[in-house]
């Protein structure tokens, strides 16, 4: 059974009010991720491109790239930074592109937002025969570290719709009815940031914005991280995971 739209711990449109925080605090993706993507030398469509964190790297590799997002403000920031990339405001579930017009459809940190059934069929429609859909996520890979476990405990207690595993799904099984061949890949990487950057990352999360008292949560986080990282250098371990699905 393919799933449709799912309940989320935050709002998909919340990002429209978070562009500056998003731009300043969100993690990037390691170079190995771009090397693991399908051949980008043809026509590439990016879905849910946001402020363009991945777009900047994709643009350097793609034969032709179009970036899309449902949010005009997120996409506006992308356009400021990458004016050479054509953009279109649209949902992954209803793409304003001709059938068979792309070699690769891709998106980072966004596929969990879509109505899976509609977006999967729409991606397959705009791909040429043999084309690939590639979706990927950064996840903090810090289970067992006290600062991380404490943060996640606080979030789960304060936002009843949030669970630390909310993006963990069987994406291969969801895609399989339309994309019979699904391959996965992942790697670990680390970034080190200061508190102002980390705070902006927290503020850029839709499920943090959905908390009843964002400022108290951030104050507790600041104290917890100051204890865990007394030199002020917050070390975040990540795992980036990729699913590549091909049409028949």
Binding site for ligand SAM (CB under 6 A): 12, 15, 26, 47-50, 53-54, 69-71, 74, 91-93, 107-110, 113-114
Rounded to a whole number of angstroms, the minimum distance from the CB of residue 91 to ligand SAM is 4
Residue nearer to ligand SAM on the CB measure, 112 or 222: 112
Contact 120, 174 (CB under 8 A): yes
First to last CA, the chain: 19
Rounded to a whole number of angstroms, the minimum distance from the CB of residue 53 to ligand SAM is 4
Distance from C-alpha of 57 to C-alpha of 29, rounded to nearest angstrom: 9
Residue nearer to ligand SAM on the CB measure, 31 or 146: 31
Closest CA to 177 of 240, 120, 221, 131: 120
Which 8-state DSSP code applies to residue 11?
Answer: -
Q: In what order do the strands lie in the sheet containing 87-89?
A: 87-89, 64-69, 43-46, 102-108, 127-140, 234-246, 181-193
Token pair 């969990």 is at which residue? 112
Residue nearer to ligand SAM on the CB measure, 79 or 91: 91
Distances (CA, A) of 28 to 57, 93, 109, 215: 10, 25, 11, 25
Rounded to a whole number of angstroms, the minimum distance from the CB of residue 64 to ligand SAM is 19
Residue nearer to ligand SAM on the CB measure, 74 or 225: 74
Distance from C-alpha of 38 to C-alpha of 43, rounded to nearest angstrom: 12
**Which residue's beta carbon is nearest to the bound ligand SAM?**
50
Helix (H) or strand (E) holding 225: helix 214-228
Closest CA to 137 of 162, 154, 113: 113
Contact 211, 96 (CB under 8 A): no
Residue nearer to ligand SAM on the CB measure, 136 or 217: 136
Rounded to a whole number of angstroms, the minimum distance from the CB of residue 12 to ligand SAM is 4
Rounded to a whole number of angstroms, the minimum distance from the CB of residue 230 to ligand SAM is 30
Residue nearer to ligand SAM on the CB measure, 26 or 246: 26
Rounded to a whole number of angstroms, the minimum distance from the CB of residue 227 to ligand SAM is 29
């Amino acid at each position: 059974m393919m799933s449709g739209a799912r309940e989320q711990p935050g709002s998909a449109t919340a990002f429209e009010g978070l562009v500056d925080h998003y731009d300043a605090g969100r993690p990037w993706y390691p170079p190995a991720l771009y090397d693991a993507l399908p051949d980008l030398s043809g026509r590439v469509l990016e879905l849910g491109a946001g402020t363009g964190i991945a777009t900047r790297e994709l643009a350097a590799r793609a034969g032709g790239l179009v970036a899309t997002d449902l949010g005009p403000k997120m996409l506006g920031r992308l356009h400021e930074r990458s004016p050479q990339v054509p953009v279109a405001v649209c949902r992954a579930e209803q793409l304003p592109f001709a059938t068979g017009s792309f070699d690769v459809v891709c998106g980072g940190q966004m596929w969990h937002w879509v109505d899976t059934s509609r977006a999967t069929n729409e991606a397959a429609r705009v791909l040429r025969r043999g084309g690939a859909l590639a979706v990927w996520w950064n996840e903090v890979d810090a289970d067992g570290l006290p600062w991380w476990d404490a943060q996640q405990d606080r979030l789960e207690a304060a936002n009843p719709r949030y669970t630390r595993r909310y993006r963990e799904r069987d994406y291969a099984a969801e895609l399989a009815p339309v994309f019979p061949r699904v391959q996965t890949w992942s790697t670990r990487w680390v970034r080190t940031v200061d508190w102002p950057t980390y705070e902006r990352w927290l503020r850029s999360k839709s499920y943090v914005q959905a908390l009843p008292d964002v400022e108290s949560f951030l104050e507790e986080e600041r104290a917890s991280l100051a204890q865990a990282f007394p030199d002020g250098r917050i070390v975040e371990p990540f795992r980036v995971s990729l699913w590549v699905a091909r049409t028949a």
